[in-house]
Structure 1
Amino acid sequence: MSTSAPNVDLKSRGLPTTSVVALVTSVLGLAFFSASHGGSDEDEAAGASSVAWLLWTAMRLGQLLLALVVLFVVVLVSRQRSILYVPVPPGTQRSPRMGPRMFRSPEEWQLPYEDVSIVTEDGVRLAAWFVYQPAVSSAGAVPYTVLYFHGNAGNIGHRLENVKDMYKQLAVNVLIFDYRGYGDSEDGSGPSERGFLQDAKAACRWLVQRARQSGTSGCSMRIREDRILFFGRSIGGAVAIKLAAHTLKQKRDEAADLPLPAGIVLENTFTSLRDMALQMFPFLSPLRPLLRAPLIFDEWTSADSLQYFANNHELWCCCLFSGLQDQIVPPAQMKELYTLLSKRRPKVLKCFNFPLGGHNDTPQIGGADYWASFKKFMGLVRDSEAEREKSSKD
């Protein structure tokens, strides 16, 4: 049984149902074509001309098409958040506790974990699982911790197989949480770019505070704040990038309360929501200059944020995993992110392509090659650690 997150056809979620389209088209058609172009003697004479009639019909058809396009854009704008954020895909339950076997808890995979409750700055309580490696007595032996940002559909239970593989293959801790409005997390203001950033900050802050408590009073250590990696799949990659860029900006403004991540791992992540909209609905291309705030509520400008981070920070590591059969996020967008980073390379930059990988199943399809690639990247992260430590002390 595969426990990868369910795929959601975002394009179909933005389209009115066939019956609605047929009804609206019929009503608009009657409205346009019932407006007779006759009535006067001159019009009657013109109506006798087949050329004039064809021109009139073409004009009406053009008006009808324009009205349908405007209607469609209005539907997309009004429904954009319900299209993008899918806490409960068809055939699933919102809470992991209500899911089928192997979707409900890390305990079902025999993983050591804690149920965690994280409170955001605006008072939203997030449900999370902290899957941990055994505690160690030496700071040098503390494992890396992956802060896992999942995709736009489903809950943390759908990622349990992936979490299990990370834990066992990479020997890392994993903190995974549900965004507001997802799983057992509270709704708060509902899913949005601003809300997701608050959620991400709260999750990272929980890790950092836990790391600062780790090893105190003679206790063994489980987390080091300089050994935190951000991992994001799909929109989770956009969340990871945005949190990293936001933290760096605060650091440059001397207002940061969080450390920068040692590295960022992106899997099947898009460049921006505008690029995704144009990919799914190419006929919106003439409206490209308008596809920004306030018309787009959540822009998720990942490429711009990643470029800012790369331009202003050097000693970090980045890895990109791309499934070349991804039918949701075009692999070309992952290639664009890699090209952007190639111009201002981080300390470590790796990109791995998987010819048969889809949007959510790249780890499963990639199998041993996927995890060998991930281990290779983790080795490079560890090799560059001394340089990061030296820089932080200067």
Structure 2
Amino acid sequence: MLKSKKNYNILGVMNGTSIDGVDYVLCSWNKDTQNLKVLDHSAKRFPEKIKKHILHCAKGLAKVEELSIAHYELGKMYAQQIKSIQKAKAWKIDLVALHGQTIFHSGKNASLQIGETSFISKGLGIPVLSDFRSADIALGGQGAPLAGLFHEYLFKNKVKAKSCVFQNLGGIANLSYFDKKQKKVFDTGPANMLMDLFLQKYSKSEISFDKNGSIAAKGKANALLFQKMYMHPFFRKKAPKSCGREEFGEIFLEKFYKQLKALGLYDATATLNWLTAYSIFDAYRKFLPQIPEKVYLCGGGAKNKTLVKNLSNLLEGNSKVLSIESIGIKDQEVEAAAFAYLGGCYLSDKALNLPEHTGASKKAVLGKLSI
């Protein structure tokens, strides 16, 4: 019954590794043309209790009982927030494409996203597509990044350039490169995650993130400490590759925290900001066929003016650095819309080009359906 229609309203739901909030993006999907259009967007914060519980799990500190409870708590929260949005906006939803909260990700080995879907499918009567990464890993892929599949759709339909990169700056930085002949999709390293974790620890949770990059702008990056941090083997690993909190989370920060703290708030934040910018630029040089003509920034880090300035300076005018909003999609909508797109591909039985994106052995339709 679900696949018998021609036009659908798909709700993409995404919350990233930063664990700060959830984006709900309603999109229309035409099964024949396979065209996606963003209709509306709503953002919700995590209740503080659930946020603390999920962070505890993501740090690898939770017992099985605690992880199980978090899985159900998060599922209830999704359902409550969707119900609230439906009441306020009168959204008609045919399918929810739910990413869930990543608790663990380790390339080809395993990836775990939590958030029990039954609270939506049974409680609200809306089918849910979830668990997008497992099929890719089963086929020998990295399970990430998946947003590149949507970026490829945008490149073909929205971008006027011979080559471009969609550079996502969430907790982790990932890129999608396209030209007329080639595509490359992989994680480049940390984006906001290390800066956020440092600021939260240094300020005893009084500062949650570097708004607009204003803290980093007052400091100067420490070259010696940057070089020590840049010795991490991930930066030299060839693409396709993926990373997460396991590589650039609390354990990484703890290794360098005393040295960062000794630099003081401003210089430490500037050093971590430079680490993100340089790792992105270096990935362009080492792993892309060419420096892209255009770079479209998305994710929370796109609002970090110091990060944008550092990346632009490193590129020395060889790339035009733009907001993704310049092609008609709002920054906050991109990641959730990407999963709405994957939901549309599922409805159209469209096998996705995983080998070129994640290193999987063959194309496949992603996601598991809960009805």
Q: TM-score, normalised by structure 2?
A: 0.32
Larger strand fraction of residues: 2
Q: Which has the higher helix share?
A: 1
TM-score when normalising by structure 1: 0.31
Structure 1 or 2, whichever has the larger Rg, is 1
